């Protein structure tokens, strides 16, 4: 199955939920460009998120969805509000959405949980997921241990729902590769941060354009909450403290509000500049439509030329 059959979008491409970044306006821009835009719930309560959903609805007549982090303190109200607002696509992270599934399905929504292991993928499918988003640790933000290259085929062999690949995709060649590994479409995050429409500070975008292949690191492994970010002064200090065995409180003091510091204030030295390993490939700030068109057209081209590769 192609992802576009599930989503009704022009391209088999989903914009990943990105806390403090994926506003209603940004999600609408992605949907208008042919992808599935997602409004992110991170850091919002139900009513603030409802506002963003309304903004998204007012700016696009194309399909869009919401990303719900299940650790959100207002999760119960958000789960109900998504039904009231008839949100048609719901992606979930950080937990099992099983208890909300019946209500969402009865309203007509399709649910795509994000998974970082085969075991979790199986649980989600048993809970009624319509597809799973398999995210490798190359991605920006919260990460699992496995890479997209190794996790994707193992999930594909274990479940029989459509699979969307995430983590490490920013070119047509990478999109083609995950389609060969069993995906029916992709979810992208980092490469959309450098779109003209993305509402992050220019300093953040410039830091991504300047970034090299090894520009990111993972903090928070000692706390069981690994996050991939650009290696800056804050990240180096955090890693040093982690190596010295610092506790949760001391570590949280450094990261508290860090994403907002980077996104809103443009503090790329002390802020949490979340980004995936593909940041080393990014070279220009472009309209979302150009990013999606290039990804899709180059993936098609790569796949149709694949038979010419000598092996
Ligand atoms: C800045 C940033 C914030 C993110 N926040 C969230 C989030 O709130 N919820 C979520 O499910 N995933 C989040 N992610 C992961 C993305 O939705 C997406 O799966 C990931 O970026 C794909 O990998 P890529 O960065 O290699 O493209 C975030 C990623 C980034 C880069």
Assessment of whether the complete model's pTM goes beyond 0.85: yes
Ligand 1 center–CA 60 separation, angstroms: 22
Say if residue 54's pLDDT is above 90. yes
pLDDT in tens, 220-236: 999 999 999 999 999 99
State the burial class of residue 203 (Cβ atoms within 10 Å of its Cβ: 0-12, 13-18, 19+).
middle
Average pLDDT (250-269) is 94
Query: Ligand 1 pocket: which of 30, 140, 195, 263 to mutate (most atoms <8 Å of CB)?
Result: 140
Say if residue 147's pLDDT is above 90. yes
What ranges in the chain are assigned the alpha helix state H? 3-7, 24-32, 46-59, 75-84, 98-107, 118-127, 148-158, 172-180, 190-193, 202-210, 233-243, 248-255, 258-263, 288-305
170 Cα nearest atom in ligand 1: 27
Q: Which residues line ligand 1 (CB under 6 A)?
A: 16-19, 21, 40, 42, 67, 69, 93, 114, 135, 138-141, 166-169, 187-191, 274-276, 278
Ligand 1 center–CA 135 separation, angstroms: 9
Q: Which of 13, 7, 82, 11 is nearest to 44 (CA)?
A: 82
User: What backbone torsions phi and psi does residue 238 show, to the nearest 5 degrees?
Assistant: -60, -45
Residue 94 has what pLDDT?
A: 79
pLDDT in tens, 93-134: 878 899 999 999 999 999 999 999 999 999 999 999 999 999
Domains in the chain, please, with CATH? 3-198+285-308 (3.20.20.70), 216-274 (no CATH)
pLDDT in tens, 94-103: 788 999 999 9
Residue 95 has what pLDDT?
A: 82
Residue 1 has what pLDDT?
A: 80
């Amino acid at each position: 199955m192609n992802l576009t059959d599930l989503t009704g979008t022009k391209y088999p491409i989903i914009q990943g939920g990105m806390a403090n970044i994926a506003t209603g306006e940004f999600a609408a821009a992605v949907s208008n460009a042919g992808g599935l835009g997602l409004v992110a719930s991170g850091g919002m309560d139900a009513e603030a998120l409802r506002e963003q959903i309304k903004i998204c609805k007012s700016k696009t007549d194309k399909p869009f969805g919401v990303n719900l982090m299940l650790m959100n303190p207002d999760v119960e109200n958000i789960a109900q509000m998504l039904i009231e607002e008839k949100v048609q696509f719901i992606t979930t992270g950080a937990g099992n959405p099983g208890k909300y599934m019946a209500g969402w399905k009865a309203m007509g929504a399709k649910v795509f949980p994000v998974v970082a292991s085969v075991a979790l993928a199986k649980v989600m499918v048993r809970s009624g997921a319509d597809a799973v988003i398999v995210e490798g640790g190359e991605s920006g933000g919260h990460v699992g241990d496995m890479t997209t290259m190794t996790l994707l085929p193992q999930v594909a062999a274990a479940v029989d729902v459509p699979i969307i690949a995430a983590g490490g995709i920013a070119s047509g060649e990478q999109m083609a590769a995950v389609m060969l590994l069993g995906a029916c479409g992709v979810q992208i995050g980092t490469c959309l941060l450098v779109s003209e429409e993305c509402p992050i500070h220019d300093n953040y975008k410039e830091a991504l354009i300047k970034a090299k292949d090894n520009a990111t690191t993972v903090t928070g492994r000692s706390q069981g909450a690994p996050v991939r970010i650009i290696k800056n002064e804050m990240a180096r200090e955090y890693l040093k403290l982690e190596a010295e065995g610092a506790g949760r409180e001391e570590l949280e003091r450094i990261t508290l509000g860090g994403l907002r510091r980077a996104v809103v204030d443009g503090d790329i030295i002390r802020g949490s500049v979340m980004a995936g390993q593909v940041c080393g490939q990014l070279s220009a700030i472009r309209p979302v439509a150009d990013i999606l068109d290039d990804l899709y057209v180059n993936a098609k081209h790569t796949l149709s030329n694949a038979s010419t590769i000598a092996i």
